[in-house]
Amino acid sequence: MSHNSFGHLFRVTTFGESHGPALGCVVDGCPPLLPVNVAEIQAYLDKRKPGQSKFTTQRREADEVKILSGTMEHDGVLVTTGTPIAMLIENTDQRSKDYSEIEAKYRPGHADYTYEAKYGLRDHRGGGRSSARETAARVAAGAIARKVIPGVSIRAALVQMGEIEMDRSRWDWNAVDENPFFCPDRDAAKEMETYLDGIRKSGSSIGAVIEVVADGVPAGWGAPIYGKLDADIAAAFMSINAVKGVEIGDGMAVARLTGEQNADEMRMGNDGKPVFLANHAGGILGGISTGQPVVARFAVKPTSSILTPRKSIDRAGNDVEVSTKGRHDPCVGIRAVPIGEAMMACVLADHYLRHRGQIG
């Protein structure tokens, strides 16, 4: 058991606080001889990095990744060796003084109170371990995970921000990288720009829904009961900061479906492979992949750090008002897009290795 690890055969352990010297991860169990491209890992980190637009926190972090172990040059290419891959990201733009005011106050909606209730102390600087900075390490691990499952393509998009839901008929993956919200609907993205600007200026924040799609997953990954592919996706997504809901395929909406609507019918395709006529199941049945795209969503709550004063208490038991003046994301869901991809990649890499272990 490990509080800070996930995965079994492809196992990621992360460490580090928002305002310590560094954060990072150790990826254990990665197969050997996979090519590692540091620039590629960096590109994923840059996508998650703060300060990319006015819609994310203005903290300036290079988020530069350094590989400490588990790789070597082999026939002129940097490859994995099969031993643990440790990756380090140094913190460079910590302004701890920004947080002195909240040292003894619990920010409502934040983990301040619960960390202190559990541990008897908390690292108040930037949220310490509860900071979303920890997810940089996950993104680095996700970049390695993608190498483990080369036939699988994993993409994510922001499909809802507050009251603005995208129109699925306008879904265009190419649009995702054209707007600062990773939204696949260009019209919705435009709306979001004005909408979020208003929220940002008022010092408020807003929630979002992210959808992650994995194409190319063959039928058969996963396992019954607690080794279910969807159970692991659910845990992985729910482990991301601020996530409160997880859906596979039709998700919560299955409650309204009849058996006829829900049963994804099958036919034999011309290539002799089964074809599904629908994908309400999101590519997973009985905890095992069907061969269809794996489709999952998660909802991210609004950033708790807002300008409007909220009622709270302090460590001494006094009633106080809390208003957060640090640098924060008006919609933390935006930066959750690459994180969702990374978590999906890690879960699939793990399940691929587990499947290969049991079945061969």
Site residues for a second copy, 20-39, by CB under 8 A, read 20-24, 26, 28-33
Verify binding: residue 171, a second copy, rule CB under 8 A. no
Q: Which is nearer to a second copy, 43 or 263 (CB)?
A: 263
Instruction: Considering only residues 283 through 342, tell me which ones interact with a second copy, judged by CB under 8 A.
Output: 284-291, 297, 299-306, 308, 310-313, 317-319, 333
Of the residues 51, 162, 180, 326, which one makes contact with a second copy according to CB under 8 A: 162
Helices 336-359 & 229-238 angle (0-180, nearest 10): 150
Q: Which is nearer to a second copy, 150 or 174 (CB)?
A: 150
Helix (H, G, I), strand (E, B) or coil at 257: coil
48 assigned ligand-binding residue: yes
Find out whether 334 and 56 touch, Cβ atoms under 8 Å.
yes
Report the relative pairing of strands 71-74 and 85-90 from DSSP bridges: unpaired
Report the relative pairing of strands 294-300 and 310-313 from DSSP bridges: unpaired
Helix (H, G, I), strand (E, B) or coil at 92: coil
Of the residues 38, 262, 326, 327, which one makes contact with a second copy according to CB under 8 A: 262
CA pair distance 220, 59, nearest whole angstrom: 43
Verify binding: residue 77, a second copy, rule CB under 8 A. no
The β-bridge partners of 209 are 160, 299
Number of residues that bind a second copy (CB under 8 A): 157
Output the six-digit token pair for 334: 């935006």
- Report the phi/psi class of residue 162: left, alpha or beta, with left for phi > 0 and alpha for psi in -120 to 50: left
CA atoms within 13 A on the CB side of 254: 14
Query: Binding string, 215-244, against a second copy, x = CB under 8 A?
Result: ----xxxxxxxxxx-xxxxxxxxxx-x--x
Q: Which is nearer to a second copy, 215 or 314 (CB)?
A: 314
Least Cβ distance, residue 301 to a second copy (angstroms): 4
302 assigned ligand-binding residue: yes
202 assigned ligand-binding residue: no
Instruction: Considering only residues 93 through 132, tell me which ones interact with a second copy, judged by CB under 8 A.
Output: 106-111, 113-115, 117-123, 128-130
Helix (H, G, I), strand (E, B) or coil at 39: helix
Verify binding: residue 151, a second copy, rule CB under 8 A. no
**Positions at the binding site for NADP(+):** 48, 54
